[in-house]
Structure 1
């Protein structure tokens, strides 16, 4: 009778309690960093203080990091807009599509200036250059200085451009040309007129008057003591 003997299996090695894995080390570091008054907790308190009181009142690293984040955000948004614009131009047959849009806006202005400069020393091409320079200068001064004169000049320039496009466009496409011009001029109008508020309600200003209370001078009053008059005795009372 034969008996089969199984080879002895190697027992699993016992886990070394002193051995730490990378996951345990990362978890311990994170716990130590997020503990109260630790590094990350102090940075969180700095951000909360900067959000409550403004980034200028925050610590130095917040004041240095905020402009960098703003610059990165603006650059990323500009890259995205350029990419989208490039795709739109590629989908619309490139330069022909863009030329059609610019021609719809600038073509009526050219025709209007050519019609109304006949007999003048200034030609239509020269008037068009003046029109371009005036609009560009008014937009840049409105964005940089925010002065009333620059913003008024920009507003008048936009109104004159819309009127010229409306009058010199063909009657069938007059509405579309004017609407397209207004849409194109709305983009530079946002930074040019930024911060301008128009209120149709009358503004009421309340002036508070502070009344100063002067303490009254103490008044001395002399009070004479009352004379005590004995009451007359009744009959039968002992004298």
Structure 2
């Protein structure tokens, strides 16, 4: 069997199976085939862990992978890591699907929930929402308790996600508050409708201090200095042509004949 490993110090690097096939059996166990196989296996195992052996080289590659880059890691380590990661993702997706299915089934079998007499501050806000969802669920193929649980879950996720600065969670929180105020206004008693809605708005505003933490309506202005600032240095250049000085002793008698001085 040929080995696919790279040569070490100019010599071929045999694999574990090559050493197993080439190792001669000890002379004192030739008469027992089973003992001979175990003896050859132990000898091949010991030689594979010696310097330059197959398992020794694999261990060195695994030890060096902690400090090496992605392109320097051995191919078999990359393959094993990718397979392990894909297997983990598949298991997580399968588990998440089972959890979501169980949660939806649990919400669908929740009985109608219109409990609460509307007493207290929270009851003044919570009871109209329960009544509104129960009335609407009568026209839908879903239990009122499931709608109420979904409403609570939306508010909780919007509050927690908005606290950590998630934009989608903050949008969900705003829609949650607007929808809650609309339901309270629609289902609250006519005499106390305005008070119940106003109380719910105050509660929602107080909770928004946490859900909308750090949100500001001021425009953010970024003043970045330009990378190239031209420098202006205005200078005035005057070019004056001065006549050449007349040499001493020149009586201007060497002009051409056709040039005469101006006479009056």
The structure, 1 or 2, with the larger RCO (C-alpha pairs under 8 Å, 6+ apart) is 1
- Relative to its length, the structure with more helix (as a share) is 1
Q: Structure 2-normalised TM-score?
A: 0.42
> Greater Rg, structure 1 or structure 2?
2
